[in-house]
Amino acid sequence: MSRLPSFSSLLAFDAVARHGTLTRAAVELNVSQPAISRRLAALEDDLGCVVLDRGTRPLQLTVDGQELYDVLRSGLARLEAVVSRLREKSLHDVVSVSCGSGFAAYWLIPRLPELEQALPETSIQIISQAYAEDVTNADVQIRFGHGDWHGLEVRAVLGEEVFPVASPAYIERTGKTFTVEALKSHRLLGQQRDAGAWYNWETWFDAIGTPATRKLRSLDFDSYALMVNAALAGQGICLCWAGLLDVFLESGALVRLTDVSAGSGRGYFVTFSQSEAEDSPVRRVAEWIMLNSSSASAAS
């Protein structure tokens, strides 16, 4: 590895590049202006090139200086983020939880007050993904699948039971029947996603044994949350994953249209590292999520 310039000279260069003056850089670093000048001169001597155009006001970066600044700022920004996280963690346990946007919005966030009450010394950081993709740097991950993730602790959260729902406004406005066959003539709200991982309307009809024989009338969205909002606004019928939309079903904002549902061996699972200690904050958060699922046994 090539020898790097001194960290103090790099910090001085970063401060001057951001502020455009030696005076402001000196104030930020709590040193004298001559000290900043000496550090910049030492940096340029070390590199063998000029990094600042001293004939401009405010000071401008040279081409070489811009190249150095871009990579330096990127590295310092990452360093600052890690330092901030470590400082926060030293004051309070912070557990990051990654999950799909639908699970975050409709299952996890409504339960946060209960989670915080149960684990008052732990702060939760939610990392929301479009469709519950893996986030390798999260402490706890809510994944959708068959539960066959090797090398991890895996706990069942929700099994997959999927059925159609609509708002009372849509039901009243259409005045139509909602048998399984009749559903195929309604406006069906869907998602722009891979049908192999999740049910869409075509695979749902296939799963319950009544394949669609003609093109369905659908309105697609790029997130589950948008699709649910459209259903709540009376724009059509959407598929509901049991356990996610309970608050709307219990309040009557959404109504289940048929007793028919499609199931599978898939579901939501909470996963975390097997190296976590029995009393670690990460394990406690994961266990709390599992124990507070109303249908964890269905995904077992």
Which residues are registered as beta bridge partners of 165? Answer: 238, 256
Phi and psi at residue 218, in whole multiples of 5°?
A: -125, 160
Global pTM value: 0.64
Answer for the pair 266, 104: CB distance below 8 angstroms, yes or no.
no
Burial of 81 (0-12, 13-18, 19+ CB in 10 A): exposed
Model confidence over 50-66: pLDDT tens digits?
999 988 888 899 999 99
pLDDT band at 297 (very low <50, low <70, confident <90, very high): very low
- For residue 245, the model assigns a pLDDT of 92
Indicate the pairing of strand 262-273 with strand 152-166: antiparallel
Cis preceding linkage at 58, omega within 30: yes
The residue with greater pLDDT, 100 or 262, is: 262
- For residue 91, the model assigns a pLDDT of 57
> Rounded CA gap, 74 and 70, in Å?
6
Is the pLDDT at 131 greater than 80? The verdict is no
Return all residues near 136 (Cβ < 8 A) that are at least 6 apart.
none
Residues 104-137 as b/e (b if ≥16 CB within 10 A, e otherwise) read bbbbbeeeeeebeeebeebbbeeebbebbeebee
Rounded mean pLDDT, 179-185: 91
pLDDT band at 83 (very low <50, low <70, confident <90, very high): confident
Return all residues near 214 (Cβ < 8 A) that are at least 6 apart.
184
Half-sphere exposure of 287 (CA within 13 A, CB side): 12
Is the dihedral angle over the CA atoms 273, 274, 276, 278 positive or is it negative? Answer: positive
